[in-house]
């Protein structure tokens, strides 16, 4: 009987519990035992691995759509993590302890559900997992992982952010006011772009496209309404200015005589009842991960490509997209997927009269 471990790492999002549910149910049908590692890699640096046995009764169907992770993703304030290990010069001891505890857990395979940082880190420290099969499942509201057309959590985040803006639009109309809404997304504009188009934003600013603040002001002044949404991705920067993007742009609009307020939906984008699309994706990727275990694959990531679920090598994932150096971990490159110039939503936004920056 195979012994399968599950670990959720990085930022949380909706769909994690659905993926866990899919793994547990699918593993049980195969006659395998499933164990969850609590608090991500934090659960592997103690005196012994911090694990719990998970059975189909542990996560019943009615709990499947709940946001967050029953396994938790780790404490951002802990002293035992990769960043602190690098800063203190104790990375060899840290990785040795991780590998020791994984060996003590006696797992045949580990399914890691993580974002681009976690997946990139797993490949860069792959020796830790050399004695078992490592299968990664991509989850992030940022949609910034290469080689997959969707990530778990993105669709729910779009739904959450769009609903937030729908509600703001009503008070915006009542007071003849613009709302500058700052979305999450890190260095990718996918969440802002998708949600902005969905809610009928008048302008969408993303890190991938330069914009002219004067042209933005002119666009808002010439809009057919005197209210609306200006969607700004958190990765947007204004030359010569520091601080969050929404506040900087709001000040520019105020100086131009445009009544506005800022709005920060923050972590509601990571919450919310998991949408059907995210549930289907999570279950499909869970099944693909178990198939990969059965096929003796390792160092792979499940991916949605052209409507089909497949697996791709972690080495290919990390070298694809737009790799950048991690600012906190020396020698680590993080793979990033960005909004490309030929993204159909950019074309749709432009055709809708939405200001999306200087694309031409």
Instruction: Count other Cβ atoms within 10 Å, centred on residue 343.
Output: 17
Q: Which residue has the tokens 């290469």?
A: 146
Are 204 and 196 in contact by the 8 Å Cβ rule? The answer is: yes
Task: For residues 89 and 228, give the distance between their C-alpha atoms in angstroms, rounded to a whole number.
Answer: 50
CB 323 within 8 Å of CB 333:
yes
Tell me phi and psi for residue 74, to 5 degrees.
110, 160
Token pair 């920067």 is at which residue? Answer: 237
142: annotated active-site residue: yes
CB 130 within 8 A of CB 321: no
Residue 135, both tokens:
């299968």
SS3 for 350? helix
- CA 309 → CA 17, 37, 65, 157, distances in Å? 19, 25, 21, 21
Burial, 342: exposed, middle or buried (Cβ in 10 Å; 0-12, 13-18, 19+)?
exposed
Residue of 142, 144, 155, 278 with catalytic role: 142
Give the span between the Cα atoms of 39 and 16, in whole angstroms: 13
> Catalytic residues, which ones?
142
């Amino acid at each position: 009987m195979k012994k399968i471990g599950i670990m959720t790492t990085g930022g949380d999002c909706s769909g994690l519990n659905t993926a866990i549910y899919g793994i547990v149910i699918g593993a049980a049908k195969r006659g395998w035992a499933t164990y969850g590692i609590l608090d991500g890699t934090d659960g592997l640096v103690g005196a012994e691995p911090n694990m719990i046995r998970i059975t189909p009764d542990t996560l019943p169907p009615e709990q499947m759509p709940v946001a967050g992770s029953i396994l938790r993703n780790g404490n951002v304030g802990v002293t035992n993590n990769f960043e602190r290990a690098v800063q203190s010069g104790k990375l060899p001891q840290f990785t040795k302890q991780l590998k020791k505890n994984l060996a003590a857990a006696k797992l045949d395979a580990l399914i890691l559900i993580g974002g681009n940082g976690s997946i990139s880190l797993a490949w860069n420290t792959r020796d830790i997992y050399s004695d078992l099969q490592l299968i990664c499942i991509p989850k992030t509201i940022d949609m910034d992982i290469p080689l997959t057309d969707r990530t778990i959590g993105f669709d729910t985040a779009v739904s959450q952010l769009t609903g937030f803006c729908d509600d703001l639009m009503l008070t915006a109309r009542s007071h003849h006011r613009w709302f500058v809404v700052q979305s999450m997304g890190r260095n990718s504009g996918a969440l802002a772009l998708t949600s902005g188009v969905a809610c009928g934003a008048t302008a969408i600013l993303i890190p991938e496209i330069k914009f002219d603040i004067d042209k933005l002001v002119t666009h808002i002044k010439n809009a057919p309404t005197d209210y609306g949404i200006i969607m700004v991705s958190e990765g947007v920067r204004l030359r010569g200015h520091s601080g969050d993007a929404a506040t900087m742009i709001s000040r520019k609009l105020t100086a131009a005589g445009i009544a506005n307020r800022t709005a920060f939906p923050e972590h509601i984008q990571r919450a919310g009842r998991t949408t059907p699309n995210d549930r289907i994706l999570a279950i499909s990727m869970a099944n693909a991960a178990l198939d990969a275990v059965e096929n003796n694959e390792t160092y792979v990531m499940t991916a949605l490509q052209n409507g089909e679920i497949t697996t791709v090598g972690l080495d290919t994932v990390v070298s694809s997209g737009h790799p950048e150096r991690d600012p906190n971990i020396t020698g680590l490159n993080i793979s990033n997927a960005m909004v490309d110039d030929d993204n159909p939503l950019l074309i749709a936004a432009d055709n809708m009269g939405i200001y999306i920056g200087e694309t031409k």
